[in-house]
Amino acid sequence: MQSELLKKYFKKAQKEKWAIGQFNFSTTEQLKGILLAAKKMKSPVILGTSEGESEFLGIFSVFHLVNNLVLDLNINLKTIFLNFDHGKNLEFLKKAIDNNYSMVHIDGSLLCLEENIKKTKEAVILAKKNNVLIEGELGIIPKTGEKINKANLTHSEQIREFVDKTGIDCLAISFGNIHGIPKKPLKIDFERLKQIKKQTNTFLVFHGGSGTKSQDFKKAIKLGITKININTEIRMIWKDSLKQALKGKEIKPYKILPNIIKQIEKLVEEKIKLFGSANKIIC
């Protein structure tokens, strides 16, 4: 099963000190760019769709869209995985599980610890029943423009309780990272990451990777991060490339869109190199 293979990749990444990139999409151009980069770099990738992205594409259609395009592009199915990102609605999360997602992410980060554990545990039961990997989240990851409040970061002393009581496979943490493009360079709390890593062998996830400095990624991976999420940068390239393309007289989408795909492919290639996942396919 894809979920079992994905777990093998996580273990390999954790042992060898590299990370798997999760790249979100909500258009076929974005998806195709990501897939082409994965193929060229011979890298495993996780394709992410949030609740909003899944709803837009159609939760029943996402897997078939991915699977058909993978076949069209002649890509190794053993390298492509699908994750339901930032699920807050258990009913919607269940639909993702029922529709061939390899992994799901339950986000109870805005809840108190007790309620987060309770909701995450419910999601874990749903996922494990169907042999799907599951990611939980502890600590609040702010959005662009919001101040980073130390009280909302992930506290290492809560890690063991959260992981042991929920049974999650992966853990998204808050240690100075933000969702979106930062307005000024981030101050990643690497000491916090070290302390978190000491408390668990669970696969650690870096959300809000867009705009993060290369050296920060490298250090975070060295300290235990095994999955990094990229979304905003892909959206920005899609928008900027489309705006530029529409300035011309061409009206045929199949002539306008290839350059957009190429730009996204280029970005994802750069991230794959940076994360160290190139040429890491498990035969």
Active-site residues, by number, are 85
Cα separation, 243 vs 213, in Å, equals: 26
Return the biggest CA–CA distance within the chain. Answer: 60
- The C-alpha atoms of residue 86 and residue 48 are separated, in whole angstroms, by 9
| 164 assigned to a ligand binding site | no
Q: Is 107 annotated as a binding residue?
A: yes
161 carries a ligand binding annotation: no
Q: Is 208 annotated as a binding residue?
A: yes
Task: Confirm whether residue 137 is marked as ligand binding.
Answer: yes
Q: Is residue 210 marked as binding? A: yes
231 assigned ligand-binding residue: yes
- Residue 86, annotated as binding a ligand: yes
- DSSP reduced 3-state for 48: strand
Answer whether 231's CB lies under 8 Å from 24's CB. Answer: yes
Burial of residue 79 (CB within 10 Å: 0-12, 13-18, 19+) is buried
Q: Which residues are annotated as a binding site for dihydroxyacetone phosphate?
A: 180, 208-210, 229-232
Q: Which residues are annotated as a binding site?
A: 86, 107, 137, 179-180, 207-210, 229-232
Q: Which residues are annotated as a binding site for Zn(2+)?
A: 86, 107, 137, 179, 207
